[in-house]
């Protein structure tokens, strides 16, 4: 079984106390210093990490603000471009309407000139036919001067109507 040896216990206690004394004299201050240095290093790292976290948070908030400003600027530019596009569209439609009205007016004027020319030509032919018919009726042929004089007088007496 177990035997308790009092001498061994005394030597063990003396050895333990002696070891504690030696450790305290030579190693204790070095161990405590190393632990304090380690503790200060950990505190500094925690402080640095907290500062880095705070800086990251500040930068994140700043980036969010800048992103919001950029989105607002993009919306403003988009709205300006839409307004400009609407204005250009309106101007193009107005120009197209003006051009179409101008073309219609020109076409009407051209038609009116063509109609006037056709009526003038028709009057001349009617006058020629009337002279020929009248000449046949009276059995007399008119010369060119008489013919022109008769046409001019007939044209002056004809009513001028515009349709």
**134/123 Cα distance (integer angstroms):** 16
pLDDT, tens digit, 9 for 90 and up, residues 114-134: 988 888 888 777 777 777 767
- Which pLDDT belongs to residue 27? 85
Range of 95's domain? 33-157
CB-based contact 155:127 (threshold 8 Å): yes
* Residue 163, in any domain of the structure: no
Write out pLDDT tens, residues 59-104.
Answer: 999 999 999 999 999 999 999 999 999 999 999 999 999 999 999 9
Does residue 9 fall inside a structural domain?
A: no
Report yes or no on 49 lying in a domain: yes
Residue 15 covered by a domain: no
Q: Give domain status of residue 96, yes or no.
A: yes
How much is the mean pLDDT over the chain?
86
Query: Structural domain tally of the chain?
Result: 1
**Res 15: pLDDT:** 96
The answer to whether 154 touches 130, Cβ cutoff 8 Å, is yes
The answer to whether residue 69 sits within a structural domain is yes
Q: Is 14 inside any structural domain?
A: no
pLDDT-above-90 percentage for the chain:
56
Distance CA 39, CA 149 (A): 133
Residue 115 in any domain: the answer is: yes
């Amino acid at each position: 079984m177990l035997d308790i040896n009092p001498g061994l216990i005394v030597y063990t206690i003396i050895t333990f106390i002696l070891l504690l004394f030696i450790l305290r004299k030579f190693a204790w201050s070095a161990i405590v210093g190393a632990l304090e240095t380690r503790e200060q290093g950990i505190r500094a790292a925690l402080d640095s990490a907290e500062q880095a976290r705070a800086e990251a948070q500040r930068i994140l908030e700043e980036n969010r603000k800048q992103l919001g400003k950029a989105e607002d600027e993009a919306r403003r530019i988009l709205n300006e471009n839409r307004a400009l596009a609407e204005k250009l569209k309106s101007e193009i439609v107005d120009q197209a309407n003006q051009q179409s009205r101008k073309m219609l007016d020109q076409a009407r004027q051209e038609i009116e000139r063509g109609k006037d020319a056709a009526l003038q030509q028709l009057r001349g032919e009617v006058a020629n036919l009337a002279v020929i018919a009248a000449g046949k009726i009276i059995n007399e042929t008119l010369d060119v001067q008489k013919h022109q004089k008769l046409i001019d007088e007939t044209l002056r007496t004809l009513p001028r109507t515009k349709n």
